[in-house]
């Protein structure tokens, strides 16, 4: 991990370089999300209202909407995107794209403190287990394909709408989704996925034992 990626703060954590107003807004945003996940765990996603979340976070409902347009977006908002982008763009140019993405993912999650790691695990579990949220996974998949295509295009000097760039990005996001599931993220699966893709994803009959 580079020195830059080690010092890259999680968006949910205030940085000393931020002004007082920015730190306060960041703390409020984090409190809203943390209290919301607690309520979802206690009484279920569908049964939890925005008014209840606002009360638990000690804010008004109107303040809630200044931070999130909906209850759904409170869960779907991915605070790790800026860190992941920074981590990918910090990888040495000589690394192949798959190796760079694997290293960036490990760097990103290694930089999280235990509280942030648990939050992300809880958030991903909620998305994959809550029927109301699972219906928007396709939307998130498309967003992630666009994100990876843009990063890959800059890395190799090809346009983001290049057919092969988008095919690669779609294959990688689709494969990486198998590392996320009902129990959260399994980083060991990330390594297996990358190794499988690097080998050309060979498939054959199971050898008899």
> What confidence category does residue 64 fall into, taking pLDDT thresholds of 50, 70 and 90?
very high
Q: Which of 40, 70, 100 is the last residue of a domain?
A: 70
Residue 35 has which token pair? 């209290």
Distance, in Å, from the CA atom of 151 to the CA atom of 147, rounded to the nearest integer, reads 6
CB atoms within 10 A of CB 24: 12
From the list 155, 174, 173, 152, the residue with the least C-alpha distance to 163 is 152
Percent of the chain scoring above 90 in pLDDT: 54
Residue where one domain finishes, among candidates 52, 70, 88: 70
The answer to which of 2-11, 96-105, 145-154, 199-208 has the lowest mean pLDDT is 2-11
- Taking residue 69's Cβ as centre, other Cβ atoms within 10 Å add up to 11
DSSP letter string over 46-74? TT--HHHHHHHTTS-HHHHHHH-SSHHHH
Secondary-structure percent of the chain, ordered helix, strand, coil, rounded to 5: 65, 0, 30
Quote the mean pLDDT of the chain: 86
Domain span including residue 141: 78-201
Residue 5 placed within a domain? no
pLDDT of 133 higher than 50: yes
List CB contacts of 109: < 8 A, sequence separation 6 or more.
117, 120, 185, 187
Query: 185 pairs with which residues across the strands?
Result: 180
Find how far residue 120's CA is from the centre of its chain: 8
Helix ranges (H only) for 8-49 are: 20-43
Q: Which of 70, 91, 111 corresponds to the end of one domain?
A: 70
Q: Determine which of 6-10, 14-18, 66-70, 188-192 has the lowest per-residue pLDDT on average.
A: 6-10
Q: Flag whether pLDDT at 38 surpasses 80.
A: yes
Radius of gyration for the chain, computed over Cα atoms and rounded to the nearest angstrom: 19
> What does the pLDDT look like over 108-117, one tens digit per residue?
988 888 988 8
CA 148 – CA 141 distance, rounded (Å):
11
The mean pLDDT of 36-40, rounded to a whole number, is 96
CB atoms within 10 A of CB 45: 20
- The H or E element that residue 178 is part of is none
Q: What's the CATH number where 49 sits?
A: 1.10.10.60
Q: Do 114 and 192 reside in the same domain of the chain?
A: yes
Please report the beta strands in the chain, taking only residues with DSSP state E, as ranges in sequence order: 180-181, 184-185
User: Do 65 and 116 lie in a common domain?
Assistant: no
Taking 90 as the threshold, does the pLDDT of residue 100 lie above it? yes
Instruction: Report how many domains make up the chain.
Output: 2
């Amino acid at each position: 991990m580079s020195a830059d990626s080690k010092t890259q703060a999680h968006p949910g954590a205030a940085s000393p370089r931020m002004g007082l107003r920015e730190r306060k807004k960041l703390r409020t945003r984090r409190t809203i999300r943390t209290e919301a996940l607690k309520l979802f765990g206690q009484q279920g996603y569908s049964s939890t209202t925005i008014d209840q979340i606002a009360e638990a976070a000690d804010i008004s409902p109107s303040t809630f909407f200044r931070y999130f347009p909906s209850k759904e977006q409170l869960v779907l908002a991915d605070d790790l995107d800026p860190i992941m982008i920074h981590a990918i763009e910090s990888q040495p140019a000589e690394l192949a794209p798959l190796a760079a993405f694997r290293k960036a993912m490990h760097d990103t999650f290694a930089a999280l403190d235990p509280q942030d790691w648990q939050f992300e695990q809880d958030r991903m579990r909620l998305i994959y287990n809550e029927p109301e949220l699972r219906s928007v996974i396709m939307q998130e998949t498309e967003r992630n394909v666009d994100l990876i295509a843009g990063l890959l295009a800059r890395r190799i000097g090809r346009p983001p709408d290049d057919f092969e760039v988008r095919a690669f990005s779609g294959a990688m996001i689709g494969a990486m989704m198998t590392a996320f599931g009902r129990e959260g993220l399994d980083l060991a699966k990330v390594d297996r996925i990358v190794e499988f893709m690097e080998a050309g994803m060979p498939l054959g009959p199971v050898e008899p034992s």
